[in-house]
Every structure is written in C-alpha cells, then in structure tokens.
Amino acid sequence: MPAQRIALVTGAARGLGQEFAVALAGAGHPVAGLDIADMSPTRERIEAAGGSFLGLLADVTDEDAVQRAVNATAARFGGLHIVVNNAGIYPPIEFEKTTLADWQRVMRLNLDGPFLVTRAALPHLRAAGWGRVVNIVSAVVFLGPPELVAYTTSKAGLVGFTRALATAVGSDGVTVNAIAPGLLATETAEATTGAGGGFARVRALQAVPRTGRPDDLISTLLYVCAEGSGFLTGQTINVDGGSARH
C-alpha cells in the first residue's frame, strides 16, 4: 500500500476549491485548505464524511503567510504531497479600461500565488520523493475572449509555469500538470458571467450542450493526483465540454 498522501488546496472555501478539497478527502487524503474566507462549510462536509481537514486563513499572495500555512500543514499531518493551485480571480474588464492596478491584481493572485505556494511546498514534495502539483488554469487560454485579456494572460502564464516546472522537478518524483476548466456554474460565475447570459453563449460553443458543474472536474483531478499517474507531467488537460478542440 502507498503511503498516505497529504493535500493542500488553495481557494478551498467555496466553489471549485471546496469541491476539490472534499473529493481529495473522500479519496482518503488528509486535506489542508487555504483561503481568506471562512472554510467552515468545507470542514463540515469533509468531517461529516469522516475525513480530516485543516483550514488555514491565508492570502496566497502573502509570502510569509503562505510559508506559515505550508509549515502548519506539514506539522499537522506529517508531510505534504499534493498541491492544488486553485485560488484565482477573473474580473471581466475591457482591455482599454484595464488599469495597471487591475492588471497587477490579476497577475498577483493568479500567477504570484501559485508561485509562492508551490515554492513553499516543493521541499516537502522533494523530501517525500513523490508529489503532484496541479494548477487550475482555464479554457480561455485556447479561446481568448476579448473581455478577459488580463485573466487569459495570467492563465497562459500558468500553463508556461506548469511546463517549465515539470521539467525542473521530474527527476524528484514530482509531476506538474494543469487542468483547464470551461465556464462552470459556481456561485461567482452565476453572479457575474451568468447574469449577462454568459452560460448560454458558452453552451453554444460546446460539443456537450449543458453548463459545466464543479463536479465535472473531479475525475480529472483525481486522475492527475493518482499513484499511477507518475508518467503524466507538463500537460494541460482541457475539460470544457468541447468548446476548445485542440
């Protein structure tokens, strides 16, 4: 039997991050969640099913807070093996109305956050001789929607991060992959994209004619984190109902 694998999920308070944390716990992994929001609902779901969860209030763009959270995870559970970089923002802003502050905010959370979390976690993965880093990107990197220039750029950067880091750590038994979701019916999407008819526009592009749900990503997450997926690395797996065919 393989050793117990410890997982860390950023943005675990709600939406896709909560579903990822619950799914990993359901697969038998003790899970730590990082977020700036209350993670009680995530904890309740995991503990009700008999799993172990550690909620850590931390801003993924705060270097010291990230390091403390990673250290606390390793101390609580005895190590760290799986990192899911899920936290991110996607404000729809016309390009010419995007301020430098807007641009930097998107890059800081969507790129600096995964960098800081992964850098802090990597010594633990290397020490274990086994690791899975999973970066949540977006199908927009293949589609280039005009109102999401900053977001698309940040997620394309995260694809590059995935590829280069996979090369850097492959000999340590650590894989690095990205999952690119399409538009999903999360609370945030319902309040933004969905409110303007975005779900219908995206469905019209898809081969599968329904709106995606957070649980549509679970099987892919568990696949890239599995014991038997050690030969899969540097890849971006698109899960968007077939809106981007590449």
**Rounded-to-integer distance, Cα 117 and Cα 103, Å:** 21
- Give me the active site residues, please: 151
Residue 192: per-residue pLDDT? 59
CATH for 7-185+217-238 is: 3.40.50.720
Residue 2: per-residue pLDDT? 61
Burial of 52 (0-12, 13-18, 19+ CB in 10 A): middle
Residue 1: per-residue pLDDT? 45
CA geometry: angle at 90 spanning 88 and 96, to 5°? 135
CB 120 within 8 A of CB 58: no
- Which residues of the chain register pLDDT less than 70? 1-2, 188-197
